Amino acid sequence: MSASASDYHTIAGRLAFPSLAFIDGGWQAAASRRVYENINPATGAVIGTVAHCDAADVDRAVAAARASFEAGAWSRAAPEVRKAVLLRLADLVRAHAEELAVMESLDSGKTVKDCLNEIGHEVPTFFQWYAELADKSFGKVAPTGEKTVAMIVKEPVGVVGLVLPWNFPMLMAAWKLAPALAVGCSAVLKPAEQTPLTALRLAELAMEAGLPAGVLNVVPGFGETAGQAIGRHDDIDVVSFTGSTEVGAYFLKYASESNLKPVGLEMGGKSPMIVLDDADIDDALIASAINAAFWNGGQNCSANMRQIVDRKVKDNFLQQVLDKTRALKVGDPLDPATDIGSMVSAEHRTRVLSYIEAGRQEGARLLAGGGISAGLPGFFVDPTVFDEVAPAMRIAREEIFGPVLGVIGVNGLEEALQIARDTDYGLHATVFTSNIDKALHLAKRLPCGTVAINGFTEGNVTTPFGGFKRSGSLARDNGTEAVDQYLQTKTIWMSLR
């Protein structure tokens, strides 16, 4: 029998929340002894305090990471040794999935349903997949002729700084840690200030799986202090960041003002969904449109919030989208029947509401939602649909990162493509058409890292994920490409006598 809301509330009541930093294989208070309050955004209640790490703690974490990297117990271990540890970690995450999912839900306002899927399935898959890659990656021998042998080998880059957002806390940790650890790097990870809990617990589980002390350090804290200290640290070899475009730009500045470390950036988006007049407006398409907009309460970097629909099918499309939107259940994230939990914080909700107001002011037509969900504690926003959104409006151009869908009517493929391309971002797009030539024409002409055809998806562990333009750097998470962020290329040239 599947668990009920009251089962999850019972688990929540029994949970112990991590509150310290995890440095050099153990729990440590911030050097300053300071803590900050962690709030459950679905109730507004304080659920605990967390170490408020700053530059001094990042220094300690980097020193531990460097020492572990140089000692070599992980960085120079046989690949099958790293594989075995990461496979054990995948199993441990699976075994603790329920506890971790409830913890993440309380920490973030995400629904327990989504947390269970991410933590019970996706996170272990990531550790397993990169574990399996560890002992199946080969170097190359260059074609240099009779008198020489030139080997091209990959080596772990060293100490990596991983800075994460709050929308998929444990999944983003896995996206970066799994490939970084699989190739032998040591890591200093800063979770988002709102959602530190599961990353801290993951560090503890990694030790239980057999990861040597110092290889994974987690420093909860704030962007301006702990985040900036990672960005500017001279002994961090690479930073991989996921978050907003604004903060991604800071990391380029930090790197240029310190040791010129490479910076991998996965950033924001304002992704289009195009529905052509020959698309089948069936249940599957509508489910995709709803999922693309409202999954995770719209707090999703690849959310398709500009739904560009041919006018010949728009009325039909919109009516079905509205019916489904109004049926979405907003409320207690620990209730498995809930579709949309709370926004991550009061501050974020205010920002989302300000965009809804901007949509109204600029003349878009509000058809569903439009405000705070009635009768709920915490920081909820109703799923909101605007029609008659014009491409120049703020709600069509700026990333809202909340449940605010804008529908734009167009006449034909070329107008749809022109509007879809007209953005500073380039993370994702979805295309619906029954014509394969049109589908591939659009896929080739859309400047973004992922194009989904006839179904919204971000891909899976096997497919690289990242953005064009202001959505990302050349670095990619996921797929075999992800390990490139954490590897150096070395040539060993041998002259034969």
Give the residue numbers annotated as catalytic, written as ranges: 266, 301
Q: How far is CA 361 from CA 218, 239, 356, 389, 397, in A?
A: 43, 40, 9, 12, 15
Report which of 174, 29, 58, 172 is spatially closest to residue 108, judged by C-alpha positions: 172
Tokens, residue 250: 């800071």
Q: Alpha helix locations (H) across 183-306?
A: 197-209, 228-232, 245-256, 283-294
The DSSP secondary-structure symbol of 281 reads -
**Which residue is it, tokens 């202001």?**
470
Question: 3-class DSSP state for residue 336?
Answer: coil
By CB under 5 A, the count of residues binding Mg ion is 3
Longest CA span, the chain = 83
The binder of Mg ion chosen from 54, 104, 107, 310 (CB under 5 A) = 107
With contacts defined by CB under 6 A, name the span among 49-57, 98-106, 160-168, 482-490 that binds ligand NAP: 160-168
With contacts defined by CB under 6 A, name the span among 22-30, 187-195, 209-217, 368-376 that binds ligand NAP: 187-195
Provide, rounded to whole angstroms, the least separation between the CB of residue 101 and ligand NAP. 18
- Interaction of residue 473 with Mg ion, rule CB under 5 A: no
Q: How far is CA 120 from CA 91, 138, 174, 318, 366, in A?
A: 10, 31, 12, 34, 37
The binder of Mg ion chosen from 68, 125, 167, 194 (CB under 5 A) = 194
User: CB of 182 within 8 A of CB of 86?
Assistant: yes
User: Which option in Mg ion, ligand NAP, none does residue 242 bind, with CB closer than 5 to 8 A by kind?
Assistant: ligand NAP
The binder of ligand NAP chosen from 335, 382, 387, 399 (CB under 6 A) = 399
Tokens, residue 3: 């668990």
Partners of residue 426 on adjacent β-strands? 468
* Residues numbered 288-327 forming contacts with ligand NAP, rule: CB under 6 A: 301
Provide, rounded to whole angstroms, the least separation between the CB of residue 230 and ligand NAP. 7
Q: What are phi and psi of 149, to 5 degrees?
A: -125, 120
* Residues numbered 264-293 forming contacts with Mg ion, rule: CB under 5 A: none
User: Which option in Mg ion, ligand NAP, none does residue 224 bind, with CB closer than 5 to 8 A by kind?
Assistant: ligand NAP
Q: What is the CA radius of gyration of the chain?
A: 23
**Cα distance between residue 441 and residue 156, in whole Å:** 39
Report which of 41, 39, 11 is spatially closest to residue 402, judged by C-alpha positions: 41
Provide, rounded to whole angstroms, the least separation between the CB of residue 199 and ligand NAP. 10
* Residues numbered 217-276 forming contacts with ligand NAP, rule: CB under 6 A: 222-224, 227-228, 231, 242-244, 247, 250, 266-269
Query: Considering beta carbons, is residue 166 or 456 the nearer one to ligand NAP?
Result: 166
User: Which option in Mg ion, ligand NAP, none does residue 107 bind, with CB closer than 5 to 8 A by kind?
Assistant: Mg ion
By CB under 6 A, the count of residues binding ligand NAP is 28
Provide, rounded to whole angstroms, the least separation between the CB of residue 92 and Mg ion. 23
The binder of Mg ion chosen from 23, 28, 38, 301 (CB under 5 A) = 38
Report which of 5, 19, 189, 205 is spatially closest to residue 105, judged by C-alpha positions: 5
Q: Residue type for 18, please?
A: P
Query: Considering beta carbons, is residue 8 or 250 the nearer one to ligand NAP?
Result: 250
Beta strands in 117-185 (DSSP E): 140-142, 148-156, 159-163
* Residues numbered 434-493 forming contacts with ligand NAP, rule: CB under 6 A: 467
User: Which option in Mg ion, ligand NAP, none does residue 126 bind, with CB closer than 5 to 8 A by kind?
Assistant: none
Judged by the rule CB under 6 A, the positions of this chain that interact with ligand NAP are: 163-167, 190, 192-193, 222-224, 227-228, 231, 242-244, 247, 250, 266-269, 301, 399, 401, 427, 467
Residues that bind Mg ion (CB under 5 A): 38, 107, 194
